[in-house]
Amino acid sequence: MKVWFITGAIVQGDSIERALESGRELLRKYNIEAEHFRRNDIDYTVSSDGEPSLYAKGERVSPPDRFIFYGAFDAVMEGIEEALVAMGSVSVNPIESKRIAGNKLKTAHFLSREKIPQAKVMPVFRSTPVDIIETEVGIPCVVKPAVGFGGKGVELIQSRVEAQAFLDELPEIMSDGVMIAQPYIESSKGRDLRVLMVGKKPYAAFVRQAGDPEEFRSNIHQGGHYEDFKLTDEVISLCERTAKAIDLNLCGLDLLFGEDGFIVGEVNDSPGLETLIKKVGFERFLKALLSA
């Protein structure tokens, strides 16, 4: 079986290559030919007449049996995914599932349909009255891009004046995405629970804690650290329902420490491979690839 790991414009591929190198013996055991490509390594054609063409690093190749993306699911990545699926490849996480997980607003809609507890989400625009934000999500609140990861663009709004200043700086027409506002959950300040899912089952979890006690974000990218967490029935049930609702075979779920229990904060459809393998095990990961 041929499997491709494809990284986006922002994600560095070194960690992917290290992870694959560490598991070469298991890859051989399962007869898996695994390769890593950056998105700009891949060229393809779309045709209504005849077979489409696929190139990797300038060489014409046959499509992989399975593939998985790491990074933001932008228009370039979506085009590659559509092309590979059209050629008969299987995405470990389905295209539609990635579209949902890559957009926090879409994710919120899907979780809402299944009555899955989550942090309330409200899209905000330059024209949105501060009164509505204060009424619906409260102030202080957290604002962030609907599309993005790693804590980038996330801000804590602590007053009406800050909220109005934030809105005034938004363009009247946001062609590159939507900003959303969510309640600031004091009980989860600077920490969350990352759960690693394989085959829609939770296998490992760890609490991410901000390094700075004044920091409200818990992202490791922002200088935080983590410690292992023993999975509970509550966490297992919540995570299985979430992965099933969005149909993600591999994902990382970020749960917030709500006052009355855990709630879903964010869904990451491409959790770090090195951490995933370290916490879950390479063999379980490979079995998930094979069963996708």
Model pLDDT for residues 69-114, shown as the tens digit of each residue: 887 777 888 899 999 999 999 999 998 999 899 899 999 999 999 9
Decide if pLDDT at 64 tops 80. Answer: yes
Distance between CA atoms of residues 161 and 128, nearest Å: 14
257 has pLDDT over 80:
yes
- Supply the pTM of this predicted model: 0.89
In this prediction, residue 106 carries a pLDDT of 94
205/202 Cα distance (integer angstroms):
8
Q: Is the pLDDT of residue 288 over 90?
A: no
Binned at pLDDT 50, 70 and 90, residue 12 comes out as: low
Q: Which of 173, 106, 181, 115 is nearest to 143 (CA)?
A: 181
**Which single residue is written with the structure tokens 């298991």?**
26
34, 20 contact by CB (below 8 A): yes
The pair of structure tokens assigned to 263 is 């709630």
Structural tokens at position 77 = 């990545």
Q: Measured between alpha carbons, how far apart are the two ends of the chain, in Å?
A: 13
Does the pLDDT value for residue 221 go beyond 70? no
SS3 23: coil
Q: pLDDT above 70 covers what percent of the chain?
A: 95
Question: Under a CB-based contact definition with an 8 Å cutoff, are residues 258 and 117 in contact?
Answer: yes
Six token digits for residue 142: 């957290």
Strand partners, 54: 44
Q: Which domains does the chain have, with CATH numbers?
A: 2-93 (3.40.50.20), 100-117+187-269 (3.30.470.20), 122-184 (3.30.1490.20)
In what helix (H) or strand (E) does residue 286 lie, and over which residues does it extend? helix 282-291
- 262/289 Cα distance (integer angstroms): 29
**230 vs 222: CA distance, rounded Å:** 24
Listed range (171-175, 231-235, 248-252, 283-287) with the worst mean pLDDT: 171-175
Higher pLDDT, 214 or 42: 42
Q: Tell me what pLDDT residue 8 has.
A: 79
- Of 35-39, 223-227, 233-237, the range with the highest mean pLDDT is 233-237
Segment 200-220 shows an average pLDDT of 84
At 75, which amino acid appears? A
